[in-house]
């Protein structure tokens, strides 16, 4: 499961009304198969050409330009074949971005739960690790919380952003800046 699918599943758990990712169309599948076939064909052709040049090198050593052209042809074939084989079919569907209200709401709810485990202070890396998502959406949600006043953005001496949720502090009277701990 890629990041896009994981994000979509996270959003669907909190809002079941979200539609599932659409299946790929038949034309998309045919296009992927043809692209892969063409890529593998280009790789095979370039390998045969390189072997032929290597065998013919003793007779005519001045064909280095032809070798590079055939090599570029083979590299292009590898790129096409890799795209056809490794790119998931569902990657065509638009990824739910953090702008999606359902995904933002799901991350925000989990963000508060994780922040309470860390006594009201959390970094984007900690949130990402706890939720198992990329750091980008974590930073966006934490910065949005700081903009709306739900959290304060503080910085450690190393320059790491630490987000403090005043409502979640375990001992409010002992609250200090993170680097004073």
CA neighbours within 13 Å on the CB side: how many for 27? 0
Strand partners, 164: 121, 152
Which of 22-31, 80-89, 103-112, 163-172 ranks highest by mean pLDDT?
A: 103-112
Helical (H) or strand (E) element with 11: helix 3-14
What secondary structure letter does DSSP report for 168? Answer: G
Nearest to 127 by CA among 20, 16, 144, 100: 144
Report the C-alpha dihedral over residues 101, 104, 105, 107, rounded to 10 degrees: 160
The residue count of the chain comes to 181
pTM value?
0.42
Per-residue pLDDT of 2-12, as tens digits, reads 455 555 565 55
CB-based contact 11:137 (threshold 8 Å): no
Report the range of poorest mean pLDDT among 59-73, 86-100, 123-137, 160-174.
Answer: 86-100
Burial (CB count within 10 angstroms: exposed 0-12, middle 13-18, buried 19+), residue 148: exposed
Per-residue pLDDT of 35-57, as tens digits, reads 888 888 888 888 888 888 777 77
Helix, coil or strand: residue 114: helix
Q: Kindly write down the DSSP assignment for every residue of 48-101, as one continuous string.
A: HHHHHHHHHTTT-TT-HHHHHHHHHHHHHHHHHHHHHHHS-GGGGSPPP-TTSH
The Cα 74–Cα 92 span in angstroms is 26
φ/ψ region of 83 (left if φ > 0, alpha if ψ in -120 to 50, else beta) reads: alpha
Tokens of residue 76, six digits: 């292009």
Tokens of residue 26, six digits: 């038949």
């Amino acid at each position: 499961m890629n990041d896009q699918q994981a994000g979509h599943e996270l959003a669907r758990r909190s809002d079941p009304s979200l539609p599932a990712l659409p299946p790929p169309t038949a034309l998309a599948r045919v296009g992927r198969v043809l692209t892969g076939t063409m890529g593998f064909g280009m790789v095979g052709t370039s390998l045969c050409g390189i072997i032929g040049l290597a065998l013919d090198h003793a007779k005519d050593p001045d064909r280095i330009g032809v070798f590079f052209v055939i090599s570029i042809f083979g590299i292009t074939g590898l790129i096409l074949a890799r795209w056809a084989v490794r790119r998931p079919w569902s990657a065509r569907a638009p990824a739910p971005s953090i702008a999606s209200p359902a995904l933002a709401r799901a991350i925000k709810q989990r963000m508060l739960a994780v922040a309470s485990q860390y006594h009201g202070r959390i970094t984007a890396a900690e949130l990402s690790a706890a939720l198992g998502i990329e750091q980008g959406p974590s930073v966006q949600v934490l910065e949005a919380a700081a903009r709306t006043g739900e959290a304060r953005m503080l910085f450690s001496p190393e320059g790491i952003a630490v987000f403090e949720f005043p409502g979640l502090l375990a001992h409010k009277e002992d609250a200090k800046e993170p680097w004073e701990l």
